[in-house]
Amino acid sequence: MSELQLGLIVIGVLVVAGVYGFNRFQERQLRRRMERGFHERPADVLLDEHAPHGGDGHRIEPRVSSVDAAASDGAARAQADETGAQGAREPSIEGERAPAAVTPAARQAPAQSRIDYVCSIEAAEPLAHAALNQFHKAASALGKPVAISGWSAASNEWIALPCAADLALSRLQASLQLADRTGPANRVQLSSMRDLVHQFAEQAGASCECPEIDQAAQTAAEIDRFCARVDVSIGCTVMPQGGAGLPGTKVRGLLESAGFMLESSGRFVLRAEDGTVLMAAEHSGGEALSAERLRAAPVPGLTLTMDVPRVPGGARVFDRMIELGRQLAHALDASMVDDNRAELTEAGVKVIRQQLRSVHGAMEAEGIPAGGALAARLFS
């Protein structure tokens, strides 16, 4: 064997030994970081016979923290169908509690991917809160509703941003709503959201994932077309028999006795216990109402309206609205008419009720029930 061959063999052995030693050094460094992050030595599921496995060992399967209790059962079913968001959800381990800095109002589950453009960010170390606040501010200026949540390993839940500065968050979910009543999210808004996420991740030394823009834009257009089909407002108008108008003070008394309140928007509003608007009563000509206006002059007509996609229990609310209209017409010596100022007969009420069922059926079929959490976001 020549000296050249012997030298090459020695060099090869040294290179292999060096690579092996470097890999061992990297493993030790990674293990130390994990121990610092989780306050305990992680189990090796391949070598440790006592480590938990998916077979005989008991596994704690996490569950998502509770969603807003005001959401309807239909909205909860729609949330369960969001297969695209399932992989990003991190549940809370039963029995653990959030730290005092986290209030129940600040908790939220990951965004609904069905109506959101959802991006994820993951870092090895907690993210700086100053950078988080800047990111949140920039994303909120894109022209569509934006929600950003961070995963807290300490409390095992998603925390809505902005949040307390002492919370350690190393994972983010940033979502831009794909549509609302102003129209669908456009490519510029979607691209801007993606660019903000990439820029933030790069500056933070984190990894990120963003959906494809073309598909998101197509989904936004489809959602907007669906919303346009079911975005219906149902109403009826109480008109005086003569030309004197309806006495304003009496109108106010009757409405307030029925549970309505005159709000700063210039209309009377009937709300559910959770604050949801069930129906409104307003000046038939669109003029803002006020206590002074009602005292000073009669009202030419009073229109009762119901925002169908946003009202839970729509059929019951509709029946209540029709009954209220009849009561007002009787008390004010007036008549109840439709949008064409024709008397609203029982046959006309049945037609409207059927249209209402059709809208509710279409929304249920899409997994976005009227009055649910998703509907409240889309029709805002």
* Helix 129-139 × helix 187-204 angle, to 10°: 170
Following DSSP, what letter does each residue of 288-337 receive, concatenated?
A: PP-HHHHHHS-BS-EEEEEEGGG-TTHHHHHHHHHHHHHHHHHHTTEEEE
Domain region containing 294: 231-378
Same domain, 184 and 249: no
Phi then psi for residue 240, to 5 deg, are -70, 150
The residues pairing with 209 across neighbouring beta strands, listed in sequence order, are 120
- The number of CA neighbours under 13 Å toward the Cβ of 201 is 20
Q: Check whether residue 223 and residue 235 sit in a common domain.
A: no
Let me know if residue 25 belongs to a domain: no
48-55 own/partner pairs: CB under 8 Å, 24+ apart: none
Residues 367 and 244 reside in one and the same domain: yes
Q: Are 314 and 371 in contact (CB under 8 A)?
A: yes
**326, part of any domain:** yes
Q: Domain for residue 66, yes or no?
A: no
CA angle 165, 167, 170 (to 5 degrees): 115
Q: Give residue 282's pLDDT.
A: 97
For helices 314-331 and 346-365, give the axis angle rounded to 10 degrees.
160
List, run by run, the mean pLDDT of 10-residue segments along the chain (380 residues): 73 72 59 44 39 36 32 40 38 35 46 88 94 96 96 90 91 96 97 97 96 96 97 96 90 97 97 96 96 95 97 95 97 94 94 95 95 95
Q: Residue written as tokens 């006495």?
A: 247
Same-domain check for residues 214 and 268:
no
3-state secondary structure of 277: strand
In the numeric block, the tokens 């009826």 are attached to 236
Q: What is the CATH number of the domain that holds 289?
A: 3.30.1400.10
The answer to whether residue 8 is domain-embedded is: no
Q: Among residues 199, 228, 257, which one ends one of the domains?
A: 228
Q: Does 38 reside within a domain?
A: no
Residue 219 in domain? yes
Distances, alpha carbon 161 to alpha carbons 137, 158, 184, 192, 197, in Å: 10, 10, 24, 19, 15
Closest CA to 175 of 202, 200, 139: 139
Number of domains comprising the chain: 2
Handedness of CA 12, 18, 22, 24 (dihedral sign): positive
For residues 205 and 296, membership in a common domain is answered with: no
Q: What is the CA radius of gyration of the chain?
A: 30
Q: What is the pLDDT of residue 75?
A: 40
DSSP structural state of residue 104: G
Does residue 155 fall inside a structural domain? Answer: yes
Residue 249 shares a structural domain with residue 374: yes
